Amino acid sequence: MDNKSSQLPTQSRPLISVIVPVYNVAKYMDRCMKTVCGQTYKNLEILVIDDGSTDGSSALCDKWAAADSRIRLIRQPNQGLSAARNTALDVATGEWIAFVDSDDWIERDMYEGLCRVAVENDADIVACGHIREYSKKSKVRSVSDIVKTVTPDEALKMVVEDRRLQNHVWSKIYRRRLFNEVRFPVGEIYEDIAVSHLLLHQANRVVLVDKSYYHYRIRRDSLSRVPSISADKESQYFTQITRQSDYVMKNVKWKDAGFYLHRRGVRCIGHLLLLPKSADIDKKVEVIIATMRSHHFYYTVQFAPIIFLKRLWIMHHLRSYRHAYRFIERFRGKPRFGR
C-alpha cells in the first residue's frame, strides 16, 4: 500500500457509499466482498443489492451482511443492473459514490488511494486504471502515467475517444451530488455509456491516477461480458454512443467527436455483417449508416486511412464490403471483438 495514503487524516476520511449489485454470482461473490470489506479505508457504507438472485447468491449476501455491520442489504425482484444501482443511489448517504460489480474484485487500498487524491486535489471525480482478468491472462489498462488533473471538457473528449478514460463507472469515485439528477436507464444495456458524460459534465475537476486498482473479470457466462456478436447488443451500443457523441458535440463544441462516432459505426457494421444475413440485420445496418450520414465526418483528428476507406466502401458499396469483410475475418480465424 502507498505509505502516503495511510496518512490520510481522520477528518479527511469522508463516507464512501460502495454500491454492489448482486445477481447470480455465487461463484465469484466471496472474492469480491472480501476485497470490498477488507479495504484499508474503513469509512464505507456498503450497499449490497440482491437483484432477485436464484443461484445461492442470496445466502452469501446474508452471510456477508451478518459479518460486517457496514453492509446494508436490500432485496428486490430481478430488474437488471441499472435498477439495482438506482435503488442503492436512492438510499446512499455517503459523500462519495463508488461501484463494484459483484463478479469483480479490487485492490485493498483502492478507496484509500482514490480518496487521498480526491481530498488533495479537491476533485469531483477520480478515475483509476483497471486490469482485465481473462481465464489465463491479465491485461492492464491505465488511464495515466502520473496523477493528472483535467477539465470536464477534456474528460468528455477523452471518454468519447475511449482510450485514456473510459465509460465504466466502477473504476472511479464520484461526489454524491453528481447523481442528484442522474440515474441509470432501466431496461437498457451499456448503461455506463448512458450516464458517464452526464456526470463528467457536472464535475468541476476530474483527476486521473496512475494506478490500476480494479480487476474486471471477463466471463464467458455473462451476457454483457462475453465477446460474442449480438445484433441487439451492437445496435444498442451504437445508440448509446450516438447519444453521448451528440451530447459532447453540443456541450463542448468538439467537432472531432464525429470522427469517433463514424469509427464506432464502422466497427458495429462490421460485426453485424458477420452474422447470417436477415431483414433485421439489414435494417440495423441501415439505421447505423443513416446516423453516420447525418453526422459530419471530420478527417482532422488523426491520420486513419483504414477507417476512412472502410467508411467510403460501406457508404457506396455495402454488398461488396460485406463479402470482403467476411472473407478477411474468416481468413483471420476469428473476429476481433474488443472496443
- Tell me the average pLDDT of the chain: 91
Residue 338 resides in a domain: no
Question: How many domains are contained in the chain?
Answer: 2
The domain that holds 129 is classified in CATH as 3.90.550.10
> pLDDT digits over 37-58, tens only?
999 999 999 999 999 999 999 9
Residue 76 resides in a domain: yes
116 compared with 219, residue with greater pLDDT: 116
How high is the pLDDT of residue 101? Answer: 98
Quote the CA–CA distance of 96 and 75 in Å, as a whole number: 23
Residue 84 resides in a domain: yes
Select from 217, 250, 275 the last residue of a domain.
Answer: 217
How high is the pLDDT of residue 9? Answer: 65
Cell readout for 212 is: 490500476
**287 torsion bin: left (phi>0), alpha (psi -120 to 50), beta (else):** alpha
How high is the pLDDT of residue 136? Answer: 87
> pLDDT digits over 63-102, tens only?
999 999 999 999 999 999 999 999 999 999 999 999 999 9
Residue 61 resides in a domain: yes
How high is the pLDDT of residue 338? Answer: 38
* Angle formed by the axes of helices 81-91 and 191-202, nearest 10°: 30
- For residues 264, 265, 271, 277, the Cα torsion angle rounded to the nearest 10 degrees is 170
Check whether 193 has a pLDDT greater than 60.
yes
How high is the pLDDT of residue 280? Answer: 97
Residue 137 resides in a domain: yes
Are 43 and 185 part of one and the same domain? yes
Are 92 and 191 part of one and the same domain? yes
Are 184 and 247 part of one and the same domain? no
Residue 36 resides in a domain: yes
Range of the domain at 71: 5-217
- Range with lowest mean pLDDT among 237-241, 305-309, 310-314, 317-321: 305-309
